[in-house]
Structure 1
Amino acid sequence: MFLDVVQLQVSYPDRPRPSVDRVSFGLQAGEVGVLIGPSGCGKTTLLRAVAGLEHVSAGDIRLAQKVVSSATQHVAPESRRIGMVFQDYALFPHLSVHDNVSFGLHHLPRVARDARVREVLALVGLASSAQRFPHELSGGQQQRVALARALAPQPQLLLLDEPFSNLDVELRERLALEVRGILKEAQTTALFVTHDQMEAFAIGDVIGVMSEGRLHQWDDAYTLYHRPATRFVAEFIGHGVFTPATLREENGQVVVHTPVGDLTDVSECPLPCTFASGECDVLLRADDIVHDDHAPVKAEIIRKAFRGSEFLYTLRLKTGETVMAHVPSHHDHTVGEWIGIRAEVDHVVTFNRACPINGNDLCSMPCAAHAAPQSVRFMEKP
């Protein structure tokens, strides 16, 4: 691994629990990693620890196989060859774009410095803006100047702390894709922090989901969405709900009984003995529920959100459970209307049934009598 974070902990004396709690992950050279999670989850503290701006309490951080942070060792930030891009861009308003980008290159001869500035400005698509000033640029252009300045000294690692948070939603996703292209062309290893999952999906090769200082899962976007490792990841990524279900083995195959109908012919599903009496919770994504007027299961629309090409409907079944569904926007039903729905699930993601006593999901233990398919991940809290 080029960046290797091992059992990292960052603690402060005035806080009851660590801000970063036993976090481990790695990045290969040239990969773009993303840390995502709600405000206060520890992702920025973790980024600052990698930069050397925070001391660690336990564990270690290795860059290019060299320990730069541990409980007993701390390499100064300026000695780590790390570039940073901040939320507010931190551009010097009185300097031109050229001079902003060349700010960290004073160790180079003037000819080499100017050549490097031209190179990175061309890389970010601002070759013709070298003599302009920050106030003459759009927000997206200013962000690219900040990226060019961070790339100019050829850092071994680039850190980006919510760099698009001041931009509008449409521009954020587009710029995330542009920045990913720039980082890949520059062959730069990068670690990016955001709370916006669309940004994370657009820019990241691998994404880590954090909550309360813990890293719940470090995986690609597809796996996070379809095979979440914990309930928190399942709730935080995408739109979905947990619904009670019962697993039964019938005629040699596993059938999952749910309020929206029986799920059969699923490629990934645990054996019924995995859960006590086959009782479990199943994750149903909005794209698992299909609007079908002829379906026997009916649901009442209790909320709707227009998304352009589709609506996101929140639906309540007669039995009281709630599900969500993506429906093409030409199916414009009103709140309070009942529509037919059916489930189309390719693989089933199961969780232990939430405990009625303490609310956790560790009530039932896996059955030791049978082996579960290797493709199935049983979801436990970390």
Structure 2
Amino acid sequence: MDWIGFYNIIVSVGNFFNKNQSIIDVIIVLAAIKAFGHISKVLGQPSVLGKILAGIIIGPSFLGLVTQGPLIKGLAEIGVILLMFLAGFETNTNRLLRSLRPATYSALLGVMIPLVAGFTAGLFFGYGRGESAFIGIVLVATSVSISVQVLREFGRLQSKEGFTILGAAVLDDIVGLIILSVVMGVSIGGLSTLHIGTVLLKVIVFFGTAIFIGKYFFPLLFSITAKMQVSVPVVTTCIIVALIYAVAAQYMGLAGIIGAYLAGLMVRSANQGGTLLNSLETVGYSFFIPFFFAGIGLEVTLGCISTEMMSFTAAIILIAVVSKFSGCALGALVGGLQWRPSLIVGAGMIARGEVALIIAKFGNDMGLIGGELFTVMVIMAIITTVLSPPLIRLFIRY
């Protein structure tokens, strides 16, 4: 073979990979997620830990095989919505309401302690009041989706600590939204009682409308779709409902995962059975949900923090872990849970995940924080998310 022919082959191969890069990314992510998840289970750890580490290893920080492109990001967003929808679908509403007291205490202390700790840390490291307040807000955030997966693996999602974590996460999101609105109002000089009242009204309207529709229209909706002469109409309807509720929650200023979780609760109340759950799990876990876990790891970009920021980054991570763990665990204990379930609640609320990433990006876009501080918040969100699964496992086995 002459050199020209060899060169043409190399060019052809390069063109093929360039044209099909998105599909190749999907293949790499799915293979890596399953492989590392399996290895994690073999080593006695939750599979979700291995899945997140898979994203870090194949991402820009190590091998650089996959980047967080539009396709991967879109699949990840659908994945977390389906994950939380499944969590809501599996939740016994009556038992959830019985856990409202420890969930409330856990949410309140889990908001107050990280907020004060983050604000104080920001001032200590020389940031202004506005930036320090925003650091505290990011530390308030909780991503319950990681904890849901770990609790499902250990069969503890329907336990007292599982219901407490779910309830506290919903309340945490609402309180965090109100605090964010207050800080934004102060920063732009437009804070008023009307502004805070508008936020509260949006929350009430969303939950009221979502529950009303779920209770009175879902039974009719599913009775109609079940008779449709197409493939798996009910499963498709569930996915549509989950996406609509997630988008509606985001429109009202809440995290989309809260809307997806509420959608799952409402579908369960419409008397949909276990066969549907199995079908939804197959759709979610075989394709969409793995991209959510991989996406967390793909967000990590080591080396983007200057040497001067290392100590601040380490301090923020430590404060994020200790403040959330102590606040939520103490709240659960005061609310009536025993020591071990309270420790599990504390560990389950540590993960900041995509909720903190969304808030941090919002602050960066609005000019409330700078690029370097934004990067610190991203690293904090990733590290706390990675730490949460092994801590939950530790206290479950304790």
Give the TM-score taking structure 1 as reference length.
0.28
- Name which structure has the greater RCO, CA cutoff 8 Å, separation 6+: 2
Between Structure 1 and Structure 2, which shows a larger proportion of helix residues?
2
Between Structure 1 and Structure 2, which shows a larger proportion of strand residues?
1
Give the TM-score taking structure 2 as reference length.
0.27
